[in-house]
Copies of this chain bind each other. A is one copy, B any other.
Amino acid sequence: MSVSPDTNHGARTAAAVEFDGTWYRLRAASVSELLLDPQWRDRATTAAGRTEPLPHPEFATVVPSPGKIFCCGLNYSEHIRETGRAIPEYPTLFAKFADTLCGPEADILLTGDSTRVDWEAELAVVIGATIYRGDEAEASRAIAGYTVANDVSMRDWQHRTLQWLQGKAFDASTPLGPVLVTADAVDPAAGLDITCQVNGVTVQHGNTATLVFSAAALVSYISQFSTLRPGDVVLTGTPGGVGMAMQPPQFLTEGDVLTTTIEGIGTMTNRIRIAEPARV
């Protein structure tokens, strides 16, 4: 099952579900709101939950209002090996905010004078049930499903200090979508191709089977210290091929088109726009 918000209702959004190739509006303003209902699966999968069909849905940020977004750093074994590092014992975690997200077709409007804007295609996990101090089996059950993210990173800001947050939390810089594919319909551990293209040229190509910390392992680990709730998001890290590691380094500039795809989930297409200079 795939669920997604659409923006086909004026300025408002609605949650929607795809069924036999057609999208249907659900009675919730967003997937975030839908997931707050413990009966969200039933609401999305029964004919009674669906309202009118949406012939031309536009896709908004798949979960617009997570209370928590955890992101994992280096997490693809192929990429770790190519950098010569050891497989880590613990996941490297940092945060984003709800305001950091944007839609899967949105322009990414960048402020802050960054000249080192980089891409990071990532599998994103969406939480469907509250979990605190759960083991991996409980974590698996707490996962609503999966979507696509691009952890667009301002490397200059990221490396101004030892803590990455300021290069990772620019408003509306992390596209998330286009749809949430529920955990019964897709299994990242079995291996999903993940790719990132810049202006049609493939720059990243990995597979989720090589994640060091699986989706369930990350959710369980985080839940040891922090409660995860419906609509929260965990980004699972990016495979090799980021721009700063290229020789010479390559970064995104005005007008570049970023295409992020995960097999069995979908594709996001985002254009980079550079805003006027920062004021301080």
Interface of chain A residues 144 through 164 with chain B (CB within 8 A)? 154, 157, 160-164
Q: Which residues of B contact A201 (CB under 8 A)?
A: none
Are B227 and A280 within 8 A (Cβ)? no
The verdict on A280 contacting B224 (CB below 8 Å), with A95-B169, A132-B171 known, is yes
Provided the pairs A169-B226, A226-B99 are in contact, do residues A220 and B280 lie with their beta carbons within 8 angstroms? yes
Chain B min CB distance to A233 (Å) = 12
Task: Determine whether the beta carbon of A161 is less than 8 Å from that of B93.
Answer: yes
CB distance from A164 to the nearest CB of B (A): 6
Beta-carbon contact of A170 and B226 below 8 Å:
yes
Q: Are B279 and A160 in contact (CB under 8 A)?
A: no
Beyond A91-B161, A154-B225, 9 additional pairs, beta carbon < 8 A: A70-B165, A88-B161, A92-B161, A99-B226, A100-B226, A111-B133, A169-B225, A170-B226, A171-B227
- Which of B93, B154, B171 is in CB contact (< 8 Å) with A166? B93
CB distance from A222 to the nearest CB of B (A): 8
Q: Do A95 and B93 touch across chains, with their CB atoms under 8 A apart?
A: no
**Can you pick out 6 interface pairs between chain A and chain B where the beta carbons lie within 8 Å of each other?**
A88-B161, A93-B163, A94-B94, A94-B95, A133-B279, A224-B278
Instruction: Say if the beta carbon of A89 comes within 8 Å of chain B.
Output: yes
How many residues of A sit at the interface, in one of the four size bands? 35 or more
Cβ contacts under 8 Å, A187 to chain B: none
Cβ of A97 under 8 Å from chain B: yes
Chain A positions 92-133 with a Cβ under 8 Å from a chain B Cβ: 92-95, 97-100, 111-112, 132-133
A165-206 CB contacts (< 8 Å) to partner B: 165-166, 169-171
Contact residues in B for A136 (Cβ distance below 8 Å): 280
Are A165 and B279 within 8 A (Cβ)? no
A36 to chain B, nearest CB (A): 15
Q: Say yes or no for A59: interface residue by CB 8 A criterion.
A: no
Residue interface bits A218-259, CB-to-B below 8 A is 1, else 0: 001110111100000000000000000000000000000000
Q: Could you say which residues of chain B place their CB within 8 Å of the CB of A27?
A: none
Tell whether A33 is near chain B: CB-to-CB under 8 Å: no
User: Is A38 on the interface with B (CB-CB < 8 A)?
Assistant: no
State whether B133 touches A73 (Cβ < 8 A): no
Question: Given A97-B226, A224-B111, does the pair A90, B160 have CB atoms closer than 8 Å?
Answer: yes
CB atoms of B135 and A279 under 8 A apart = yes
